Structure 1
Amino acid sequence: MTRAMPIDIRRLTGEDLKAALDDLAGLRISVFRAWPYLYEGTRAYEAKYLQRYAETEGAVIVGAYDGVRLVGAATGEPLGDELEDFRAPLEARGLDVENIFYLAESVLDPAYRGQGIGHRFFDEREAHARALGFKEAVFCAVIRPDDHPLKPAEYAPLDPFWRKRGYEKLQDTVVRFPWLDVGDTAETEKPMQVWYRKL
């Protein structure tokens, strides 16, 4: 696929972050509908969920732009500003959540994968976290059963990519977060494995 312009990676904060939230909502609904998230998103849910980034000091969106179109985005914020239920499993391990930066969602239009954008998403968020004084970072990956009927036969987990970035699973550390699965009528909690590294 030939593109007229190179992909522009931008670190967005403040008013620039707020201006990107609607486009981020559309990306989340589209990309997270696929395995393993199977997320049945709505604009109403997204508006409420993403508002936290507009209200959180230290939050960041790293946007990937093809011209003026947002084709990918990765988010992050201080873990201490996350919901208590979300922080609790890490606090139970004795980790200082006030010193940890949380790398939240990462979404990329499938047509733009394989170009190193995923690495840039980590580079930019980690640099942002370090600039704020954070020494550690975590993210979460949804856990789905291997025999799930919607699991694609060709699916390959991203564990090798994450380990190459210096992250490892925090054993026996799982957080739970609810969302509506494709085809369901009610939200259910999903277990999510915590991955960790020192910055």
Structure 2
Amino acid sequence: MRILVRQGCDITPFIDDLARLRISVFRSFPYLYEGTLEYEQTYVATYAASPDSVFVLALDGDSVVGASTGLPMADETVEFKAPFLKGGFDPQRIFYFGESVLMPSYRGLGIGVRFFEEREAHARRLERFDICCFCAVERPVDHPLRPADYQPLDAFWAHRGYIHHPELRTEYVWRDLGEAGETAKPMSFWMKEIR
């Protein structure tokens, strides 16, 4: 196993790998995401276009088995900035974590912790951010596709110093597995002060 940290357009050689990884990992609960390679390539290319973005890649040999991303909130979409603007936060001072995706057989080895450490270190090096944040989809406890052994990551995130802010909410649209079309999913944010 090795960890690579790349910034901005340096991720370009890994775009297809990251796109495939996101499709594979996000098919599971709670995301249940029915992704396409074309959409994912466009999504990842947006991060690659941000010069201050960060990509933390976990590789087993030459295979990308995990990835974590982040970029300045100011470079994110209107949907992600809106709750912070409404709440009186300055998006220029916030570094947003896009996702952490890791193939199941590599979980429990400390890679998820490393993803958080590397992204926080990157945000601190940029010297203009006070807060790191990310958002998570909210699914009902009785969702019919929720596995009986599902363990939410709330305790892991809290242990890393992140605080849930359910008042900071947005929606993001995608097609769930088995759905005919896209629907809006509620998302709420977790934040940590890094200064």
Q: TM-score range by the shorter chain?
A: over 0.9
Q: Does 1:96 align with 2:93?
A: no
Deviation of residue 85 (structure 1)? 2.1
Paired residue type of 1:154:
D
Counterpart for residue 31 of structure 1: 25
Deviation of residue 171 (structure 1)? 3.3
1:16-53 Cα shifts (integer Å, max 9, x gaps): 31111110001001000000000001111112211211
CA distance in 2, matches of 1:176, 1:14: 26
What runs of 5+ residues in structure 2 fail to find an aligned partner?
none
Q: Secondary structure at the match of 1:56?
A: coil
CA distance in 2, matches of 1:115, 1:124: 16
Does the 8 Å CA contact 2:170/2:188 hold for their aligned counterparts?
yes
CA distance in 2, matches of 1:171, 1:43: 31
Paired residue type of 1:24:
L
The alpha-carbon distance between structure 1 residues 146 and 52, as it changes in their structure 2 partners (threshold 3 A), is same
Counterpart for residue 173 of structure 2: 178
Counterpart for residue 137 of structure 2: 142
TM-score of the superposition, structure 1-length normalised?
0.94
Q: Secondary structure at the match of 2:144?
A: coil
After the TM superposition, list the runs of 4 or more consecutive aligned residues in structure 1 that deviate by more than 6 angstroms. none
The aligned runs of 1:19-168 (5 Å cut-off) are 19-133=13-127, 134-168=129-163
Sequence identity, in percent?
52
Deviation of residue 172 (structure 1)? 1.3
The alpha-carbon distance between structure 1 residues 86 and 15, as it changes in their structure 2 partners (threshold 3 A), is closer
Q: Secondary structure at the match of 2:69?
A: strand
Q: Secondary structure at the match of 1:44?
A: helix
Counterpart for residue 190 of structure 2: 195
Does the 8 Å CA contact 2:19/2:37 hold for their aligned counterparts?
yes
What RMSD, in angstroms, separates the aligned Cα atoms of the two structures?
0.9
1:114-144 Cα shifts (integer Å, max 9, x gaps): 0000000000000001111122110001100
Aligned residues: 193
CA distance in 2, matches of 1:125, 1:194: 17
Deviation of residue 94 (structure 1)? 0.5
CA distance in 2, matches of 1:100, 1:26: 28
What runs of 5+ residues in structure 1 fail to find an aligned partner?
1-6
Deviation of residue 15 (structure 1)? 4.1
TM-score of the superposition, structure 2-length normalised?
0.96
Paired residue type of 1:169:
H
CA distance in 1, matches of 2:165, 2:103: 29
1:126-175 Cα shifts (integer Å, max 9, x gaps): 00011111221100011001111000011111111000100001131111
CA distance in 1, matches of 2:65, 2:96: 22
